[in-house]
A and B are shown apart, each in its own frame.
Chain A
């Protein structure tokens, strides 16, 4: 099968991968770049475990054509921390027990980051709306919502960070 080169910015670093025609961004990130933080859950854009940010906007990488991100900036949960320092969202997820099996967590974190980057003091309803496309089957929505609120720089649950 003929391959197409795609170049984009991945967590702040320029990368180039070869993809099959019709390949999705999730495959390009996991197999091409080697970043396995985004997960495969459904392949049809319904579960949210593959959520990444493209130019700051949350997208479902399993239904995004890899070639569509040429020249754009892609962020995944693997790029959240700053050196050894965890992002406030990561710390809040840890402190609030907002992960159980962990499979939805990378997608949840990116959906939450997209929200907080735009709206540093979201209401609970806005948090619920922001993670509305991300399914958690261990059913930890309440701790996840509390974690996002706590991480918000001016959120009502703010304690640290």
Chain B
């Protein structure tokens, strides 16, 4: 059972919770334990056809010709689908919000850019007949040099993976080849630091491996629409993606889903829906397209690998004075959602710490690998791993307990973050204190008494001089303060003084008047608007 530490920030919370903290049975649980929950593949449709896809055996190759003659004549085959049959055979997922250029075909036409890329689809009466027909398709490939390493891909003369982005990097705002973060003067801080530490972190791609593989069943409805039973995690995201690729109004598509046999981010790419619907359009029959386990593991998009260089400057007393990060996100052959992951990564640096000088360059890089996609905090988890490994190494370097080292450098309410936003409602110090207590990890009394609400702001609220940025105008107007924010605390403690006992936490404020009986919408959805606590 979850434990609630209500002593923290007790004065900032109403005790009017009706559901939180009380067990509630899931509404889908009876279906799960009786085996009657209906996943996409549990719909029974008369006259069902099966779609299978021929995939590229090469990491990078030009397609000189495709011969589907024998496959079209093979037993049980109802339709062979090629790139030319796809109404709009170029798309990028985030084009629905005008972000990025269309760069990925549904079926490859001129080139394949990763091993496993779909080239031809066959719709047949049975899966077996579809597989047998696929074996009779002849594709004439001219293999091309491939690039698998993010830094190699950015070098001059590297093979161009995706002609939409000839520099092998995503283009931000139409001209920048990476995301940049500049705050203060890291070079000066490195020159003045007692110690420096530079490390390289390399993450691997990670497969979601849901127990239910990606798939869907599409069928003509009687009203000119197509119904699609799917495992899509973003049902309407997928619907609009299909409407674009198939060049039909979105009201021609009827998506049924929401029941997903494990997703973890791997079911947002519309890997199967466009072809299944196209198959249903071309044959007039229900079409089922389900990835096999090998397809799911090999060609279903994984979490993208990241290579992260972190260089830190630290003083003998434990203060981190600079953090410089250069990170490369391996998007694979196409963009999908990696451009967004890079923005999240840049927005997460330098982690939940107040560091006066921060410098980051984050690249979204194309390689001849399977395109990456969403997975549980993608863009953030890897850089967090790097940062927290780095924190342990830094603590060891200066001889400070790693828990105390984190409390010492933690951001506090009122601090200026490297993104020029004020830190509000911070709680890292409290988290570390509880973690230490749970792990029976001794930390000194002064660290047990520190608080996120004390010691922040003041000098720590300043935007430092940042070389290369216009002076003065660097600080945007402060976001509007609402009644739900914590009031600004006066700077009570000097910036970093672990040796001196820290001031005791402020005594709880006078009890606020009884909360209004009606719950204000802004309070109810406060986490959405970043005004989590009053």
Q: State whether B293 touches A80 (Cβ < 8 A).
A: no
Write out the residue numbers on chain B whose beta carbons fall within 8 Å of the beta carbon of A40. Answer: 41, 213, 290
Q: State whether A34 touches B39 (Cβ < 8 A).
A: no
Q: State whether A137 touches B211 (Cβ < 8 A).
A: yes
CA A138 – CA B264 in complex, angstroms?
Answer: 8
CA A20 – CA B127 in complex, angstroms?
Answer: 12
Given A39-B261, A41-B211, also A78-B35 (CB < 8 A): yes
Write out the residue numbers on chain A whose beta carbons fall within 8 Å of the beta carbon of B290. Answer: 40
CA A8 – CA B209 in complex, angstroms?
Answer: 33
Output the least CB separation between B12 and chain A (Å): 30
Output the least CB separation between B124 and chain A (Å): 12
CA A145 – CA B74 in complex, angstroms?
Answer: 49
Write out the residue numbers on chain B whose beta carbons fall within 8 Å of the beta carbon of A161. Answer: none
Chain B, 225-239, CB within 8 A of any chain A CB: none
CA A70 – CA B41 in complex, angstroms?
Answer: 26
Q: A101: which of B33, B34, B261 is its contact (CB, 8 Å)? A: B261
List 18 contacting pairs A-B, 8 Å CB cutoff, sorted by A: A20-B128, A37-B35, A41-B212, A42-B293, A77-B35, A80-B35, A81-B34, A94-B25, A94-B33, A99-B32, A99-B33, A101-B210, A103-B211, A105-B35, A109-B35, A136-B211, A137-B208, A137-B264
Chain B residues proximal to chain A, CB less than 8 Å: 25-26, 28-39, 41-42, 44, 126, 128, 208-213, 260-264, 290, 292-293
* Nearest A-chain residue to B33, judged by Cβ: A90
Write out the residue numbers on chain B whose beta carbons fall within 8 Å of the beta carbon of A58. Answer: none
| A49 in contact (CB, < 8 A) | yes
Q: State whether B42 touches A36 (Cβ < 8 A).
A: yes
* Nearest A-chain residue to B44, judged by Cβ: A34
* Nearest A-chain residue to B209, judged by Cβ: A137
7 additional A-B residue pairs with CB within 8 Å, beyond A47-B293, A101-B212, A102-B37: A36-B41, A39-B212, A43-B293, A49-B211, A94-B25, A102-B28, A138-B262
Write out the residue numbers on chain B whose beta carbons fall within 8 Å of the beta carbon of A102. Answer: 28, 31-32, 37, 261
Q: State whether B29 touches A94 (Cβ < 8 A).
A: yes
Write out the residue numbers on chain B whose beta carbons fall within 8 Å of the beta carbon of A138. Answer: 262
Chain A, 106-143, CB within 8 A of any chain B CB: 106, 109, 135-138
Write out the residue numbers on chain A whose beta carbons fall within 8 Å of the beta carbon of B210. Answer: 101, 103, 137
Interface size on A, residues (CB 8 A): 38
Output the least CB separation between B413 and chain A (Å): 35
Write out the residue numbers on chain B whose beta carbons fall within 8 Å of the beta carbon of A41. Answer: 211-213, 293
Mark each residue of chain A from 20 to 39: 1 if its CB lies under 8 Å from any CB of chain B, else 0: 10000000000000111111
Q: State whether A103 touches B33 (Cβ < 8 A).
A: no
CA A43 – CA B292 in complex, angstroms?
Answer: 8
Output the least CB separation between A17 and chain B (Å): 14
Q: State whether B211 touches A101 (Cβ < 8 A).
A: yes
Q: State whether A106 touches B35 (Cβ < 8 A).
A: yes
Write out the residue numbers on chain A whose beta carbons fall within 8 Å of the beta carbon of B37. Answer: 102
Chain A, 43-59, CB within 8 A of any chain B CB: 43-44, 46-47, 49
CA A105 – CA B31 in complex, angstroms?
Answer: 10
Q: State whether B34 touches A103 (Cβ < 8 A).
A: no
Write out the residue numbers on chain B whose beta carbons fall within 8 Å of the beta carbon of A38. Answer: 35
Q: State whether A103 touches B36 (Cβ < 8 A).
A: no
Q: B211: which of A37, A90, A93, A135 is its contact (CB, 8 Å)? A: A135
Q: State whether B42 touches A90 (Cβ < 8 A).
A: no
Chain A, 68-103, CB within 8 A of any chain B CB: 76-78, 80-81, 86, 90, 93-94, 97, 99, 101-103
Q: Identify the interface centre among B28, B33, B39: most chain A CB within 10 Å of its CB.
A: B33
* Nearest B-chain residue to A80, judged by Cβ: B34
Q: State whether B209 touches A77 (Cβ < 8 A).
A: no
Output the least CB separation between A106 and chain B (Å): 4
Output the least CB separation between A84 and chain B (Å): 11
